[in-house]
Amino acid sequence: MKADMHPRLTTPLALLPLSRGLALAGLALSLGAHAADEAKPAADVVTLEPVSVSAQSGAYRKEKNTASAVAPTQASLTATQPQSVITREFIEQSVAPTAEYSRIVAIAPSVSGDSANGPGLSETKTTLRGFGDDQYNITFDGIPWGDTNNPAHHSTSFFPGAVIGGAVVERGPGNASNLGFATFGGSLNLFSKQAGKEAGGSLFTSFGRWNTRLLGVALESGELARFHKATVQLNVQRLESDGYLTKNSIASNNVTLKVDMPLSSQHTLTGFMSVNRIHYVQPDNNKGPTLAQVAQYGKNYSLNDDPTSFNYTGFNHTGKATDFEYLRLRSRWSASFSTEAQVYTYSYDNQTISSTDPTGATAPGTKAGPKGNTDIPGIDKQNKYRVMGGIFRVENQFEAGTLRAGVWTESSDTDRHQYDLDLTLGVRDPRETKPAPVQYPSVLFDQQSRISSFQPYAEFEWEPLAGTSITPGIKYVDMTRSVSALVNQTTRLPQNASVSYGKTLPFLTLNQRFGHDLAAYAQYAKGFQIPDLKSFYIADPTKNSADPQTSTNYQLGIVGKNPALTWDADIYRIDFKNKYVSNGLGGTAAAYVNVGGAVYKGVEGQATWMVGGGFAAYANASVNKAIAQDTGKTISGAPNMTAALGALYNQGPWGASLIWKRTGSSYQQDYDASNPGAYERYRTAATTNTDLSLSYRFTNVGFGAQALKLQLNVFNLMNKQDVTSISPAKNPTFDQYTFQAPRSYQVSAKAEF
């Protein structure tokens, strides 16, 4: 056991990432000032487009007064796989001001997931074509990020909606240049906001149900002539809410800084920093109440004020500290040759105190107390990691096409532990600097782990004919997982082991243009997923299979665009192989092996029609199916369809949207069609959600403000409260249920100056 069992976030430590970010901004400006002495005049400086990443080129593209300008989601005519581009305009008009990325991308076809505590007020695990949160990538400005035990994500922990400039949902592995540890499910690509050319800023606030309040300021430097038209963006905000679930409060602070610095007409340096601090009052097991608890306390039951209960608020709280930083240098060496070099780091520090059983399945009594004691047992849990990496890309245009190549390298160090507690004897709050007295009867695990990854790639976009683009590519995945544990998880024995994995992944895409407003595409691509850390929770991990889980993707699609209508449709089939499962043996014979897999297939489409007079109509739909190859069962948690309908209005000072989203039924256990009655208990019916937004923008308001925007958002307008997920227990009496949060509202004001 470690000598310091209570790592704490003191104020100086919490400010370290901020000081690094400010130093980063200062460094960028000083480099720009130094380069200005020898560079060309500011008038000659050009803004360079991002290199290589296809999603970046479409993230902000729009045409005024057309269907493309107002579409909630759409695909690009240059797409090589199904995608949904989401703009900042849609985020500001139709998404909750308190939201994070999960609420933003939820509009897209084949995407589902919502917060049980209210919009943006708790973590959301999103599904994509039925793939779970750890089976697809999430990137920010081209950098993949996620947990280090498996590539899952914490939706509220890094980037609030106010700092997200746009998103591209890519449903497939993409080309060889797409990066991440879980490429076979696709990618949610998030982008920071583009800088404005003029200096200005805004004060924004929002108030809503459950005592929800948000206050923030966003500042823009505009183009700074002294520094070659450099720009600086700063966003600072505070979010607080009591939440829909009983006693599940949240308090969150975020500071985000971005600097774009042209060093010359050929080189642009970008620095980005985001620091987040969150405190939750919630149980570590937040999978919802049992049906008995629902009958007694309601669908929103979670915590209470009874210190003799497992669900006492004083026994269940979490503090999270994260930061995310990068430096990116984009260079254009000639008319045909350009490079992009990016270094980054991000960290996640979760300190949780929680009781062990919110369902009532176990009686009070701890290991530390005397026999028959009624003390409340709990855990002290830590998940803390630092990730550092670099991405280098080159692009060269030839007469026949464009060559892209690069390499992604990354390493991470993780420190995880979980200790038993007697909560009745005293417990600390993760925000406190001094620990209260606690007892540690046993160590569940005390583990350090590391991932080292190296992934080179190359692809060539060949243009044999005008309007025809064929892109073959190849990527090699080389990674090593290692664990050094005083007490390993599950076995509770010391562990020192290292396992390496390697895989070559081929890619082939086609995009065919038919005039200026129609294109078709096809994709064949291999994806993969890094083996879960749980594969080390055995006596000898070197006996595990060295083959990672892989997929083969086949996709066809068509995209059409004209001023009145933007639309696209696709069909897909994904063969998922090498499913990683335990061999079921114990002791030294235990191992994780590859068996079977699954087939995911479906049809998707999305369209926006510009009706006229400021009105537009929107629709999307998907039919999805996921079947296990080894058992023939339907994969649990995979909805069988999604659909959305929307009406949008934007003319003059008025803006409005009404968006209805439906998520199909799913089974919470793998479903066997030959015995449907056995699984009906764990079938969740289709759910619907309707959101309404109304806004008005005043100009020339005085008091130094150029404009004032007032907005009303109503979420779950029809007040649906259906079951969204079920967590089965060994005894069905203690199954846990999650429900839709009921109707809520947020009233917002944004003063621009």
What does the alpha-carbon distance between residue 573 and residue 175 come to, in Å, rounded to a whole number? 17
Q: What is the mean pLDDT of residues 241-268?
A: 97
- Please give the pLDDT value at position 9: 32
Q: Examine the pLDDT at 320 and tell me if it is beyond 80.
A: yes
- What is the bridge-based pairing of β-strands 654-663 and 518-529? unpaired
| Extended beta strands in 242-376, E state | 250-262, 267-281, 317-332, 337-355
Q: What is the mean pLDDT of residues 315-340?
A: 97
Instruction: Provide the phi-psi class of 605: left if phi over 0, else alpha when psi is between -120 and 50, else beta.
Output: beta
Phi, psi of 34 (to 5 degrees): -65, -40
What does the alpha-carbon distance between residue 130 and residue 113 come to, in Å, rounded to a whole number? 11
Residue type (1 letter), 229 = K
- Please give the pLDDT value at position 429: 52
Both tokens of residue 432? 């406190």
| Residues 6+ positions from 699 with CB-CB distance below 8 Å | 653, 706, 707
State whether residue 265 is helix, strand or coil: coil
Q: What is the mean pLDDT of residues 641-669?
A: 96
Q: What is the mean pLDDT of residues 34-52?
A: 36
What does the alpha-carbon distance between residue 343 and residue 345 come to, in Å, rounded to a whole number? 7
Q: What is the DSSP letter of 224?
A: B
Residue type (1 letter), 399 = E
Structure confidence at residue 543 as a pLDDT band (50, 70, 90): confident
Q: Examine the pLDDT at 34 and tell me if it is beyond 70.
A: no
- Please give the pLDDT value at position 583: 75
- What is the bridge-based pairing of β-strands 187-192 and 137-140? parallel
- Please give the pLDDT value at position 439: 45
Residue type (1 letter), 268 = T
**Ranges 53-67, 212-226, 498-512: which has the least confidence:** 53-67
- Please give the pLDDT value at position 319: 96
Both tokens of residue 281? 């009052």
Element (H, E) at 448: strand 443-462
Q: What is the mean pLDDT of residues 294-322?
A: 96
Most confident region among 42-51, 165-174, 576-585 by mean pLDDT: 165-174
pLDDT tens-place string over residues 596-618: 788 999 999 999 999 999 999 99
Rg (CA), the chain: 26
What separation in angstroms does the CA of 58 have from each of 326, 560, 701, 740? 22, 15, 35, 33
Q: What is the mean pLDDT of residues 224-243?
A: 96
| Residues 6+ positions from 176 with CB-CB distance below 8 Å | 457, 458, 459, 473, 474, 475, 505, 507
Tell me which of 62 and 663 has the higher pLDDT: 663
Both tokens of residue 449? 């782990």
Q: What is the mean pLDDT of the chain?
A: 88
Both tokens of residue 387? 């990730």
What does the alpha-carbon distance between residue 573 and residue 595 come to, in Å, rounded to a whole number? 20
**Ranges 434-443, 644-653, 724-733: which has the least confidence:** 434-443
What does the alpha-carbon distance between residue 337 and residue 320 come to, in Å, rounded to a whole number? 43
- Please give the pLDDT value at position 239: 98
What does the alpha-carbon distance between residue 567 and residue 75 come to, in Å, rounded to a whole number? 8
Residue type (1 letter), 165 = G
- Please give the pLDDT value at position 427: 64
What does the alpha-carbon distance between residue 323 and residue 302 come to, in Å, rounded to a whole number? 29
Structure confidence at residue 25 as a pLDDT band (50, 70, 90): very low
Both tokens of residue 151? 């590539």
pLDDT tens-place string over residues 516-528: 999 999 999 999 8
Q: Examine the pLDDT at 43 and tell me if it is beyond 70.
A: no
| Residues 6+ positions from 722 with CB-CB distance below 8 Å | 684, 685, 687, 739, 740
What does the alpha-carbon distance between residue 139 and residue 189 come to, in Å, rounded to a whole number? 5
What does the alpha-carbon distance between residue 238 and residue 160 come to, in Å, rounded to a whole number? 10
What does the alpha-carbon distance between residue 342 and residue 51 come to, in Å, rounded to a whole number? 11
Element (H, E) at 293: helix 291-297
What does the alpha-carbon distance between residue 103 and residue 113 come to, in Å, rounded to a whole number? 8
What percentage of the chain exceeds 90 in pLDDT? 73
Q: What is the mean pLDDT of residues 466-486?
A: 94
| Residues 6+ positions from 579 with CB-CB distance below 8 Å | 549, 594, 595, 596, 597, 598, 628, 630
User: Which residue ranges form the domains of the chain, and what is each CATH number?
Assistant: 11-669+677-699+711-752 (2.40.170.20)
| Extended beta strands in 547-686, E state | 549-562, 565-582, 592-612, 615-628, 641-651, 654-663, 666-667, 683-684
Q: What is the mean pLDDT of residues 300-323?
A: 96
Q: What is the DSSP letter of 179?
A: -
Beta bridge partners of 544: none
Question: Contact 272/258 with Cβ under 8 angstroms?
Answer: yes
Q: Which residue is listed with tokens 């380069």?
A: 35
